[in-house]
Every structure is written in C-alpha cells, then in structure tokens.
Amino acid sequence: MSTFRFQALAQTAGRKPVKFEELERKSAIFGSNVFNDKAMRQFLTQDAYQGVKDAIQHGKKIDRKLADYIALGMKEWALSKGVTHYTHWFQPLTGTTAEKHDAFFETSYDGSDPVEKFGGGQLVQQEPDASSFPNGGIRNTFEARGYTAWDPTSPAFIFGTTLCIPTVFISYTGEALDYKTPLLRALSAVDDAASSVCRYFDKNVKKVTATLGWEQEYFLIDSALANSRPDILMTGRTLLGHTSAKGQQLDDHYFGSIPTRVLSYMRELEYECMLLGIPVKTRHNEVAPNQFELAPIFEETNLAVDHNSLLMDVMQKVAERHDFKVLFHEKPFKGVNGSGKHNNWSLATDTGVNLLGPGKTPMSNLQFLTFFINTIKAVDTYEELMRAAIATASNDHRLGANEAPPAIISVFIGQQLTKVLAELEGVSAGKLSPEEKTDLKLNVVGKIPDVLLDNTDRNRTSPFAFTGNKFEFRAVGSTANCANAMTTLNSIVAKQLIDFKKSVDALIEEKDMKKDDAIFNVLREYIKETKNILFEGDGYSEAWEIEAGKRGLSNHKTTPKALKAKVSEKAIALFSELKVMNHVEVEARYEIELEEYTKKIQIEGRVLGDIARNHVVPTAIRYQNLLIENVKGLKDIFGSEYETIAKEQISLIREISGHIEGITSKVEEMTEERKKANNLSNSEEMAVAYCDNVKPYFEIIREHCDKLELLVDDEIWTLTKYRELLFTK
Ligand code: ADP
Ligand code: MG
C-alpha cells in the first residue's frame, strides 16, 4: 500500500541520528551571537556604551545622535559575523514572533556607491506594514500604522545571517499591540512597589528585578509521520486516533535514557541556544512517550520571556535538520500527558537578595515572609485573573484533566510554612511586647531556614506552588508566551505590595507603632484573610472541586468563561492604576483572545469534519466492500449455510455502517452549529457558541472514527496511528 501513512513509515524506518558534535565548551561560546556587554565594549565608543547601560539600568532615553553611534557599532559587529540583514524582532498578539528582514545593503538612486548602512533611525524605530496583526479594534483602518521601538533591555542577537533587534510593538496612538509592552510596564510597577517595601529592611535597595525560569515541555515526532497527519499539520494536535495499547502506564519513559536521535537533536539545539545566550541547563524525558523537557537557568523576566519565544522558534528550526517536528500543543495526544510550561518566579534585589529565599537573620526572614505572604494575598485577591492569564483553547484540554493543575487556582506552601503562618496568626493585635517579639524572632521567624531545607514535599497537583525559594506557576500552557502570565503575576504582586505599604505606613503614623510591629500586624491580618486560597491536598480530586466551590474559588473550565475576568472592573482598575494597560488595551486583548479561541475551534471543527468524511469514511467503506465481497463469496460456496459462517463479517458490516452513519450525521450537525455560531455578531457569544455547541461534537465524531480504526484492516488504514507517532524513536 502506498498511502501517505506507509510512505511515511518507510521513510522513518530508515532514519539515522543526524550527527552533531560540539566543537567547543558551552562556556566558551555562550552569547557569542549576542550584542552583549563584551561585544558592546569592543564595538561601541565609551559614550555609546554608557548610553546603552544607562538605558538598561535606569531607563534613560537614548537620543538620536547616540543611537547613530550605537547603530554603527552594532552594524560593524554584525558584519564581522557575516550578517547581511537586520530586523526588528517583536511579539505580536498572534502568539509567535514577527520579523521582516531588510538588507544592510544600499546604493544611490542610480545604482552607484553600494554600501552597507544601518543608522540610529533604523535601530530605534520602524514602521512595519503590520495592519494584519491582531489589534482587537485598536487600530482603525484609517490609522492602521503600528510602530516597533527598540527595547535596549533585551540585547540584539544574530540568528542565521540576520541581526535581530528586540522591540516593542505599539499603535500610532501609543497602545500596546504586543506582549512585551505591558510586561515591561508590569515589571517596572513591581520594581517600584517591591523596592519601597524592601527599604523597610534595607535602605540600600534601589531596584527589584522579577526573575523567571520557565520549563518548556514538548513532544518530538518524526517529521514524516507528523506531516502524514492533516490534523497535526493544521492544528498541532491529533483530533482522532485510538490510544495505543501501550501508553505511559509503565512509566518507562520518564527520566529514562534519552533516545539517540533525540539526544543528537538536543545537543545541536543546546549549541544554538548557547550562541544566542539562552542559558539552557536541564534536559530530560517527560512522562508521555516522545515527550521531553528543557529548562534554563532563570533570568530577568523580560529577557527570559524573549528567550523562551526565541527558543520555540529555534527548536522548530533545529528539528527540521533532524527530521523531527516539535509539538508545543498542550494536548497533542489523547490518553497520555499533555505539556505545560511551569513559570518559576521570584523577586531579587540589586543588593543580591532573593526575596522569596529565606535569609540568615530574623530580619531578613521577616522580609522573606513579607514577600511570601503578600504574594499569597495577591493570588487570593486576583485568582480569577490568574486563571484568565493562562486561558486558551489548547490549555483547556490540560487544566483539570487530572495530569495538570486544575482550573481552580490555589496556592501550595508545604507543611512547614503552613505551621509558620499558623504561629504568626497568633501574634497579638497592636504593639508587641518585647518578650513576644523576641520569641517570634527566635522561634518562628528565626527558624525558617532550617525548616525550608527539610521542606521537600512537592505537590504536583497545585497550579501555584512555593518550591523553597520561588513560586512556580504551573498552570501555564506549553504554547503560551510567558509574558501573559508574567504581566498578570507581577501586576497583582505590585498592586498588593503598594496596598501593604499603605497599611504598614498607616499603622506606623496613626497608631505610633514600630515598623516591625506594624509589619507583623498587617501580615497577621493577611494570614487570616487568605486561608481560602491555600490548599495542600490533591488538586485532582473531586473532593477539592466541591471544597473549592464552598470556599468561593472560581472554577472556570473553559476559556470563554475564564477570560471574562480580564475585563472585570477589578482587572481594568488594577491595570490602569499601575499603568500597565489602559481599558482600551485590556478590552482589545480580551477581544483578540476570544477571537483566537473561536478561530482555533473553528479550524479544528473543519479539519475534523474533513478527516472524518474524506479519510475515515472512504477507508471504512473500502474495507466494508471487502467484507461484502467475502460474504458474497461465502454464500456462493456454502449456500444457505453462509449465514452462520459469515456471521462475524455480517455483524462487522453492520457495525461499520453504524459508525459511518454516526460520522456523517454528526459532521453535518456540527457544520450546522458552526454556521449558526458564525452568524452571531458578538465575539463573546460566538466564542461561547463554539465552546458549548460546536466543540462537544469533537468527542462524538472522534469516538466513531476511533472505533472504525479498531475494526478496519490495518493495511488500508490511511492515518498514521498513535503507536507509530508515539513510539517511533
Ligand atoms: P523542578 O521544578 O523541575 O523540580 P527546579 O526547582 O530545580 O526544577 O527548578 C526549575 C526552574 O526554576 C529552573 O528553570 C530554575 O532556573 C528556576 N529557578 C530557580 N530559582 C529561581 C528564582 N529565584 N527565580 C526564578 N526561577 C528560578
Ligand atoms: Mg518545575
């Protein structure tokens, strides 16, 4: 049989690992394609170098003249590395990165004087013809211009033969059209708020940086096999396919030895990452067959977000050389685990202190507790917004699917810290007696470091867990741009820290309390107020759903429901108070995300309808015809006796007809529902209609298709099967 499936299988059978040898040590090549400090020192004048540094460290503006000098140095550096083009590199709300390459090469109007040119103007600002990026109605067609503007805090880098300059993307009227702009604003808000709070403990703190260490999970599928499946090609996941007899039940893949072809891929990928300054460190097999994970050393959040976006691009490109396709989808295969992107998050001061790491003295531990409890309080206040920040059509498959954190947001802190909070809850109201304070400092706050060392219990079912010296936002989806989650998390913590500072200052000024008395008092109230968000038990259990309902926690299982919190008064007030996003920007994002949801489900519906009707049904009929021929032949030979002899075949023929009928009628019904949904003019209603009326058909149609897969002769089945996709190494 020369179906696509068998051709792909034949191609795959002949694969050898693509050889890759690192020629140099990682530390020797790290960042060599990045316009980093070392390159800047070498290629920039002292003034230009200082200009960039001031922009990075103090947010100072770079004037045009200085920009010209910086551009000149950047161009020289790039040319010395064989670069021919440059591009502004940005992250529009499509979820991928965008680039438009321009050559350095220029001539005069008559074709004379060919030179390589790159000026400050081109470095600082560009106006891509970007009218078809999603804008949620911000940019009317008569003002369709969008600008990209250089973000000096994320260094330029070379990818292939192109100089990439990280930029923000904003509309002519100044609204953010990308992920980076609100993120930068949120990071600045949390810096201001956290620095002020830090100064209760250390007057020298000038800057607080949010840190992010993401963990990227992904599937690696042979490219020929992946390309043989129209659903993988068009939607990034399998819309049908019977689960294979063996899945992940033996747990033999997790942390197992990495398959040779994959290891070779990983080595080359890591090499590319090193050149780009992405500090990847950890690689291992994940739970599902052909599922893997890669994690870096954490970095400043803006840079970490850029690095994750860049990495996803690099991963796909390197995969091509190794005849793999990377599936980033949160749930590419039914019946085995999906993929997430844990966002490990903390705050660090410019004096070198991790604010979520316990310290060495009682005072630094009080600082730790302050940030720890304020983070809990922030999540408690804004749990719905946290859920909204990770809501996408693809992540809906994962949240609450008993393998990933549930759709309910809660915070896990571990037994030991639970005890510490319980003791702090007993702190007396008002001024503390000297004895009480000493006791607290010695026996509660002072004991924290040893306590955390033993704190090894990890709750994998929690969406937001404290893991020793950081919080881990685990519910983030593997396809997500981390900026969405990070903008929200840093904003809610910023707002919370501002409120905290107001409360503490009020106690100091109005109640004449000492600083640490005031802090203990405010923290005690927070502990009392935030009990509902803390949960240490099994997040997958039904009992938790019931309990969470009683506690009044939200449990939005689908994106249209979850997204609504983004445009609540509370959310709009938060983002506008912090100047992270104005209401127009917030509403535009809501609109874009609803639209994206609708389009994703719409595409899946169409692809499923196509595969079911044009691949599965014809194959089933072909097999059914074989059976019919067989029955006819038996009748010829055996006469009336055939009914007994052909009993199984006849029942198979019937069964197949049943499924064909099921597919045909359900695909028609689904198409009708799509039509109805498409006629709705309100995007919120449309998303809900797709979710409630279209999507439910997916499972029903799939069920019929998957049953047929079990009935039909393997030789003529055209779609590559789960066992082939998941167990080909
Ligand atoms: P796991 O969660 O798989 O057990 P680890 O806890 O060792 O793994 O770390 C996971 C990630 O947490 C790594 O990417 C690491 O860089 C990141 N990380 C560690 N410390 C911090 C921090 N202070 N801020 C942000 N990320 C951090
Ligand atoms: Mg983790």
pLDDT for 453: 62
- Of 152, 175, 198, which one is at a domain's C-terminal end? 175
How many A from CA of 467 to the centre of ligand 1? Answer: 8
In the prediction, which pLDDT does 364 show? 87
Same domain, 152 and 194: no
Q: Per the structure block, which two tokens stand in for 381?
A: 């206040």
Q: What is the pLDDT of residue 363?
A: 82
- pLDDT at residue number 174: 85
Segment 599-622, tens digit of pLDDT = 999 999 999 999 999 999 999 999
3-state secondary structure 487-554: HHHHHHHHHHHHHHHHHHHHHHHHCCCCHHHHHHHHHHHHHHHCHHHECCCCCCCHHHHHHHHHHCCC
Q: Is 228 a member of any domain? A: yes
Joined tokens for residue 106: 């220029």
* pLDDT digits 0-9 by tens, 627-660: 999 999 999 999 999 989 999 999 999 999 999 9
pLDDT digits (tens, 9 = 90+) for 240-269: 999 987 878 777 777 788 889 999 999 999
The residues, ordered by sequence, that sit 6+ positions from 415 with a Cβ below 8 Å of its Cβ are 455, 457, 536
Instruction: Check residue 202 and give its pLDDT.
Output: 95
Residue 112: what residue type?
S
Mean pLDDT for 441-458 is 73
* Residues 557 and 679 reside in one and the same domain: no
Q: What percent of the chain has pLDDT over 70?
A: 97
Question: Relative to the CA of 468, which ligand 1 atom is closest?
Answer: 6
Residue 157 is inside which H or E element, if any?
strand 157-159
Q: What's the CA-to-centroid distance between 215 and ligand 2, angstroms?
A: 7
End-to-end CA distance of the chain: 23
User: 401 and 490: one domain?
Assistant: yes
Residue 30 CA, ligand 1 centroid: distance in Å: 20
pLDDT tens per residue across span 233-245? 999 999 999 998 7
Instruction: Please tell me the number of the ligand nearest to residue 475's CA.
Output: 2
Cα distances from 679 to residues 132, 622, 676, 686, in angstroms, run: 23, 37, 5, 8
**Looking at the 3D structure of the chain, how many domains does it have?**
3
Query: Which tens digit of pLDDT belongs to each residue from 319-368?
Result: 999 999 999 999 999 999 999 999 999 999 999 999 999 888 888 899 99
Please give all residues whose beta carbon lies within 6 A of any atom in ligand 1, as ranges. 211-213, 215, 295-298, 344-346, 354, 467, 469-470, 472
Two tokens at 65? Answer: 């003249």
Question: What is the domain extent for residue 95?
Answer: 31-175
Which ranges in 530-646 belong to alpha helices (H)? 542-551, 559-563, 569-577, 583-611, 617-638, 642-645
- Atom index in ligand 1 nearest the CA of residue 296 equals 14
How much distance in Å is there from the Cα of 344 to the middle of ligand 1?
A: 5
Q: Give the pLDDT mean for 183-212.
A: 97
Provide the ipTM. Answer: 0.95
170 and 242, same domain (yes or no): no
Please give the number of the atom of ligand 1 that sits closest to the Cα of 357: 23
**Domain shared by 96 and 196, yes or no:** no
Provide the whole-model pTM. Answer: 0.95
Torsion-angle region of 639 (φ positive above 0: left; ψ -120 to 50: alpha; else: beta): left
Q: Could you identify the atom of ligand 1 that is nearest to the CA of residue 467?
A: 6
The reply to whether 182 falls in a domain is no
How far apart CA 93 and CA 87 sit, in angstroms, is 18
d(CA 287, CA 274): 26
The answer to whether residues 452 and 521 belong to one domain is yes
User: Are 212 and 167 contained in the same domain?
Assistant: no
Predicted pLDDT of residue 228:
95
- 15 in a domain, yes or no? no
pLDDT value at 456 more than 60: no
Beta carbons of 33 and 277 less than 8 angstroms apart: yes
414 Cα to the center of ligand 2, angstroms: 15
Q: Are 276 and 154 in contact (CB under 8 A)?
A: no
Structure confidence by residue, pLDDT tens digits, 39-84: 999 999 999 999 999 998 888 889 899 999 999 999 999 999 999 9
Examine the domain organization and report whether 613 and 723 are in the same domain. yes
Question: Given this model, what pLDDT does residue 135 score?
Answer: 81
Q: Which of 298, 349, 486 has most ligand 1 atoms within 8 Å of CB, for mutation?
A: 298
Q: Tens of pLDDT along 97-109?
A: 988 888 999 888 8
Same domain, 376 and 487: yes
pLDDT at 565: 97
Give domain status of residue 86, yes or no: yes
> Which ligand ends up closest to the CA of 476?
2
Specify whether the CB–CB gap between 491 and 580 falls below 8 A: yes
16 is a domain residue? no
CB 198 within 8 A of CB 208: yes
